[in-house]
Amino acid sequence: MTGIIDNNSDEARKQWCDLLHAGWMFHQQQTKEMQSPIIGAKPSEEQIFHMAVSVAIQDAIALIQQMEAYGYFGDSEEEDGDDLPQHSRGPAG
């Protein structure tokens, strides 16, 4: 899971998603291990923490996937930002 992330943004994004997924699985497992065997017992603070972290990681993964689907990252090799609206001339010149 660990390694040097190269300059290829698609590969780096995939490695980040894999790392996030591993963290999500860890916190899900911790949540299940800390669950009380007593039915109806309130969850402990540690269990609530691990639940919250796993949901946050899941949201981060979903956000990355949505941004990819909408083409936010783009497939072009040139990333100088010339196509941004703030880089074009406005009405004042």
2-60 residue pLDDT tens: 555 455 688 888 898 999 999 999 999 999 999 888 998 999 999 999 999 999 999 99
**Nearest residue to 45 via CA among 34, 32, 56, 58:** 34
Which residue intervals of the chain are DSSP H helices? 9-33, 45-69
Global pTM reads 0.67
pLDDT in tens, 5-14: 455 688 888 8
Question: ∠ CA 48-16-52 to the nearest 5 degrees?
Answer: 10
**Nearest residue to 55 via CA among 85, 91, 35, 28:** 28
